[in-house]
Amino acid sequence: MFKKILIANRGEIAVRIMRTCQEMGIATVAVCSDADRHALHALEADEAVPIGPAEPSKSYLDIDRIVDAAKQTGAEAVHPGYGFLAENADFAERCERERIVFIGPPAQVIRSLGDKLTARRIMQAGGVPIIPGMIEAADAPGAWAAAAERIGFPLLVKASAGGGGKGMRIVERPDDLAEACRAASREAAAAFGNGTIYLEKFLPKSRHVEFQILADGQGRILHLFERECSIQRRHQKIIEETPSPALSPELRAEMGQAAVAAARAAGYVNAGTVEFILDPAGRFYFLEVNTRLQVEHPITEMITGLDLVRHQIEIAAGRPLALTQDEVRGRGHAIECRIYAEDPEQRFMPSPGRIAFLREPAGPGVRNDCGVYAGSEVPVEYDPILSKLVVHAETRELAIRRMIRALTSYVVLGVRTPMDFLLDVLASAPFQAGETYTDFIAAHFADWAPDRKRLELAAMAYAADAMAPRARTAGPVAATAAHPGPWHTLNHWRL
C-alpha cells in the first residue's frame, strides 16, 4: 500500500480524500495556489506545497508543477479528485512516465472516453444503447443539415470534448441549426481547445440517471446502483438522490448490466460513472462516462456503506475487488444538495468573499463534506462549491424531511448561498412526487425569487437582537454568553 499520496485538487474534495487516507494510515500532500495558502485542504494535509498564482492554468492545471510537487515530497501516487486535471489524459500519461501512480483509469481510457464521439462508437460496438445521432464529426452546414434531417427535430448540438454544458445547444427548427452549430463550436473551442461538435436527438421530459462502477485490474467490474441527477441548472446538477424514484427493480438490473458492459467495452479500471438518459417510456440510452470520482459520490456511499475513495486507492495499488455484485446492497434513501457561494437573486452568479460565520448542520443521518471554515476566503478564481450536504434515511419521504431540517439549520454568513432555493425545490409538490426531469428547474422555478416575508422576519430578528440591552459582565475580563470565560464557568478557584 502507498505510504504517501498527493491530492491534486482543492476544497471539499481534497479534504474528503485526505480523511480516507488518514484512516488508512497514508500520509497526505496538499498543493495550494497563492489564494489557498490558508485553505482548509492545505491545513488538513500532512504537507502542503505552494504551486503558484491563483490563476488555475498556473497552479492546479499546471502538470509540471503538480508532478514536481509529488517528486519533491516523495508521494508515490496522485489522486486527482474531480475537475482540474482529473480527466486529463496527458496528466495521467505523465504520471505513468514518472512512475507515479495515477489513482484513476489508464490514460488511453480517459482519452477515448473523453471524446464523446469516440465513446459513442465504443458503446455501440459493445452493445450499449446510444441516443440516435451522429458517430462521426461534421464541420459544414450541409453535413449538419443532412444529419439533422436523418435524426429529426428537436435535436441537441454537443461538443465532442469537455462537458459541463459548454458547447451545447437545443435546436427546435431547421432555420436555427447552422448558427447553433457555429456558436457551440466557438464555445467548445474556447473552453476545451477543441471545437468539434456533433448532433444527437434531443429527448424532452427525460431523466438523467447514472450508475457508479468499480473495476479492478483483474477484470472484475461491479455497479453500485444508480443516482438520479435530473435536478439541474444550466446542465449542472444541484440535487442528487438514490435510489431513483423512476426505476423498478427490473429496470435497475437492466441498466446496471448496461453500465458494466460499458465499462468492459472501454477497458475501464478504477471508479467511474456511466451516465444514461431515461425517457418516459423507460427506454435508456448511453450519455457519457465520467472517468473520475463524481461530486455526488457520497449518496452512493451512504446507501451501500462503501468508501469509494478507499476502493479507488486499493485498486490503484493493485488489489482486487473483494466484493461480488451480489454482496453489494443498497439500504434506505440518500439525497445530496450542493452548497455553492452564489447569489440566487443575481442569476446564481458566484459570491466570493470571506466567510464570517459558519454553523454546519448535524444530527442522525447527516453528513456535510465541507471545504471551508469561518474566516476562510472563497476565491473568485475557482468553482464556488463550499460543501456537499448529504442525508440518509429509511425512506425517500423521510430523507426529504431530514434534508429540509438540515438546510434550515445550516448557517453561512459573509457570502450568499442558494439554500433558500434548494429548500423551495425540496418542498415543491413535483419534487416530493418524484417528478424529477431534466427540465424541472425551467418548468417550475424559472421565475424563482426568495420569500420576502422570510427575509423581513430575519431582518427584524437581527434588529431586535442588536437593540436588546446586554447585561454587563463583572470581572477583569469581559465574556459573552456565546463565549463565556473562566470567570463564568469555574467555581471556587484561585491563581
* Residue 490: predicted pLDDT: 47
Band the pLDDT of 235: cuts 50, 70, 90.
confident
Q: Which of 10, 111, 120, 292 is catalytic?
A: 292
* Residue 487: predicted pLDDT: 46
Q: In the chain, where are the structural domains located? A: 4-103, 132-201, 207-444
Residue 491: is its pLDDT beyond 60? Answer: no
User: Once rounded to an integer, what is the mean pLDDT over residues 113-142?
Assistant: 94
What per-residue string of b and e applies to 407-436 under the rule 16 or more CB within 10 Å gives b?
A: beebebebbbbbbbbbbbbbeeeebeeebb
Dihedral of CA atoms 107, 113, 117, 122 in degrees, nearest 10, equals 100
154-168, 272-286, 405-419 — which is least confidently predicted? 154-168
* Residue 469: predicted pLDDT: 73
Topology of domain 4-103 in CATH is: Rossmann fold (3.40.50)
* Residue 461: predicted pLDDT: 62
User: Once rounded to an integer, what is the mean pLDDT over residues 116-135?
Assistant: 96
* Residue 303: predicted pLDDT: 98
Band the pLDDT of 335: cuts 50, 70, 90.
very high
425-484 pLDDT, tens per residue?
Answer: 999 999 999 999 999 999 999 999 998 666 566 566 656 666 777 655 444 444 444 445
Integer Cα distance of 427 and 129 in angstroms = 35
Q: Which amino acid is at 451?
A: D
* Residue 166: predicted pLDDT: 83
* Residue 481: predicted pLDDT: 45
User: Once rounded to an integer, what is the mean pLDDT over residues 272-289?
Assistant: 96
Instruction: Evaluate whether 109 touches 123 at the Cβ level (below 8 Å).
Output: no
Percentage of the chain modeled with pLDDT above 90: 86
* Residue 479: predicted pLDDT: 45
376 φ, ψ (degrees, to nearest 5): -80, 160
User: Once rounded to an integer, what is the mean pLDDT over residues 189-216?
Assistant: 94
Integer Cα distance of 125 and 234 in angstroms = 31
User: Once rounded to an integer, what is the mean pLDDT over residues 93-122?
Assistant: 97
Q: CA quadruple 58, 62, 68, 74: dihedral positive or negative?
A: positive
Active site residue 65: no
* Residue 488: predicted pLDDT: 47
Residue 494: is its pLDDT beyond 80? Answer: no
* Residue 484: predicted pLDDT: 52
29-81 pLDDT, tens per residue?
Answer: 999 999 999 999 999 999 999 999 999 999 999 999 999 999 999 999 999 99
Class (C level, CATH) for 207-444: alpha beta
Integer Cα distance of 30 and 39 in angstroms = 10
Integer Cα distance of 239 and 114 in angstroms = 24
Q: Where are the beta strands (DSSP E) in 151-261?
A: 155-159, 169-171, 197-201, 207-215, 221-233, 236-242
* Residue 457: predicted pLDDT: 64
Residue 2: is its pLDDT beyond 50? Answer: yes
> What is the DSSP track for 37-87?
TTSHHHHHSSEEEE---SSGGGTTT-HHHHHHHHHHHT-SEEE--SSTTTT
* Residue 192: predicted pLDDT: 86
* Mean pLDDT rounded to a whole number for the chain: 92
Class (C level, CATH) for 132-201: alpha beta
* Residue 467: predicted pLDDT: 73
Q: Where are the beta strands (DSSP E) in 234-283?
A: 236-242, 270-278
User: Once rounded to an integer, what is the mean pLDDT over residues 18-22?
Assistant: 98
Is there a shared CATH topology between the 132-201 domain and the 207-444 domain? no
User: Once rounded to an integer, what is the mean pLDDT over residues 315-330?
Assistant: 97
Band the pLDDT of 124: cuts 50, 70, 90.
very high
134-151 pLDDT, tens per residue?
Answer: 999 888 999 999 999 999
Q: Which residues contact 249 (CB under 8 A, 6 or more apart)?
A: none
Residue 168: is its pLDDT beyond 60? Answer: yes
* Residue 138: predicted pLDDT: 85
351-403 pLDDT, tens per residue?
Answer: 999 999 999 999 999 999 999 999 999 999 999 999 999 999 999 999 999 99
Secondary structure of the chain: what % helix, strand, coil (to 5)? Answer: 35, 25, 40
